[in-house]
Amino acid sequence: MAVRLRQLEAFRAVSQLGSMTRAAKQLEISQPAVSRLLSSFSASIGFKLFERHKGQLIPTQESRFLLREVSRLLDSLDHIDDLTHSLTARKAGHLRIACLPGFATSHMPRVLAGFLKNRPAVTVTLEPDRPERILEWIIGEQYDCGITDGFSDHPAIDSEDVAMRTVCILPKGHPLGAKSEIAPSDLVDEQFVYARRDSVFFRKLNDVFRAENLTMNYRIETRQFTAACMIVAEGFGVSVVSEMDAMSHRDKGLLIRPFKPMVPHVLSLLRPIHAPASMIALEFLEYFQDSLRPYRMDGA
């Protein structure tokens, strides 16, 4: 007869407590139940588990040997119990996130800190890289979710777009700061700081200028909004960037003005469409969406 879990539990309890009656109390079952569990266990393994001495049940040397292993097993069963609860409550799991480098250093750390705060058993891998690589990773199911921009549909990717507000940023004391709203024509004579000229966002921005027969006058290209903010804050040039990035550099001396017409910066939240959805990943994407709400075009 196979070893039964209940037998092991009874065995451990009796070994520790030295009495079936007490073991029964601890296990919250009746004493005869314990008695039978032990005798069936003993019969199935073929040796005596206890020797009685003055009313105490003393483990035989064999059973002391066994007890070590049995305790280990029951401990790991408890661990599994905990784990299933944590997984259900989305308090455990592993999350692999790929995102744009700009996010990895600005918004993401804050979001992750908040997300992990109440999920002590969740571990995260955060991989910042170029958009194309992010797509590859999601398609290859190496990552559970990706944050990128300029994404257009892909059959293997489940995506959700979020249009983010953008703003014009100016160095402190810049004359345009006097205006409450900036138009393309205001920027024609300024030194423009690009963040990724080839990106969908900057092509759309260009379209706005071209629609009014204006040309953007750019001098510097950076790869991230964050970098553009810092350059402008240093007093060199102006730019149009995501409001979220602009806000986090506000205290570094930066004038922030609405830019009309507003060109949204479209973020995409990605998931591999074929891989089973990780609940923790879905939960994270939801949390991440929430974190964007203050900066969304349609947001509060």
Partner DNA sequence: TAAGATTTATAACATGATGTTATAGTTTGG
Partner DNA sequence: CCAAACTATAACATCATGTTATAAATCTTA
Angle at 160 (CA atoms; ends 158, 166), nearest 5 degrees: 145
Q: Which residues are CB-neighbours of 127 under 8 A, at least 6 positions away? A: 96, 97, 98, 99, 137, 143
The sheet with strand 254-258 has its strands ordered as 239-242, 166-171, 254-258
| 19 interacts with DNA by CB under 7 A | yes
Contact status: 69 vs a copy of itself (CB under 8 A): yes
Q: CA of 144: how far to CAs of 87, 139, 271, 283, in Å? A: 16, 10, 6, 11
Binding range to DNA, per CB under 7 A, among 6-14, 60-68, 73-81, 249-257: 6-14
Q: From the CB of 179, what's the least distance to a copy of itself, in Å?
A: 51
20 scored as a contact of DNA (CB under 7 A):
yes
Q: Does 36 contact DNA by CB under 7 A?
A: yes
Residue among 14, 23, 34, 50 that touches a copy of itself (CB under 8 A): 50
By CB under 8 A, what part of segment 144-183 binds a copy of itself?
Answer: 144
Query: Which of DNA, a copy of itself, none does residue 113 bind (CB under 5 to 8 Å by kind)?
Result: none
* Residues 92, 114: Cα–Cα separation, whole Å: 15
Give the footprint of a copy of itself on this chain (CB under 8 A): 2-5, 8, 44-48, 50-51, 53, 58-62, 65-66, 69-70, 72-73, 76-77, 79-81, 83-84, 87-88, 92-94, 144, 274-281
